Amino acid sequence: MGFAVKALGFAAGGRIPREFTCEAGDTSPALRWADAPPGTQGFALILDDPDAPGGTWTHWLIWNIPARATGLPNNVARAAEFSDGSRQGRNDFQRIGYGGPCPPPGKPHRYFFHLYALNCKLNLKAGAGRAELDRALKGHVIQQAEWMGRYQR
């Protein structure tokens, strides 16, 4: 099957449960991945909404997840750095860590969990934004996996 990521608690393309949104707990879902490619030195994850009215909205940035990791737990703390070396960035809500789906009323929005297997640890300070992470990823992505859920208010 190859490198793959999945969110626990909702099917691919399915409705994201309310507990993971701004309307309830605003907690991150547990994620699991498997079959990281050879040479993986760590992972980065970006959660975004390409259907946001003003263009793609970034909900979560986390990088330098250790190569030995096979997932993230439910409700990752909103800390800038963790003891395992992982770092979180500033989302488009201008907060560190996860910010759940929070679309305006209307059509469903798609939320993509992009997981990147990297050939190195990124030299990027905690609290960095999306543009900085995108630049840091250039030339270091071995392979990418993706999981998508939908949410509508």
Domain-located, residue 120: no
Domain-located, residue 147: no
Alpha-carbon distance of 84 to 25, in angstroms, equals 25
pLDDT tens for residues 27-65?
A: 999 999 999 999 999 999 999 999 999 999 999 999 999
pLDDT of residue 74: 97
Cβ burial of 153 (10 Å; 0-12, 13-18, 19+) is middle
Alpha-carbon distance of 31 to 103, in angstroms, equals 22
Domain-located, residue 80: yes
pLDDT tens for residues 109-150?
A: 999 999 999 999 999 999 999 999 999 999 999 999 999 999
Task: Report how many domains make up the chain.
Answer: 1
Alpha-carbon distance of 8 to 28, in angstroms, equals 10
Its domain, for residue 76, covers: 17-31+56-113
Domain-located, residue 130: no
Residues 85 and 76 sit within 8 Å (Cβ to Cβ): no
pLDDT tens for residues 79-111?
A: 999 999 999 999 999 999 999 999 999 999 999
pLDDT of residue 1: 63
Domain-located, residue 97: yes
Domain-located, residue 151: no
The one-letter code for the residue type at 37 is P
Domain-located, residue 39: no
Domain-located, residue 142: no
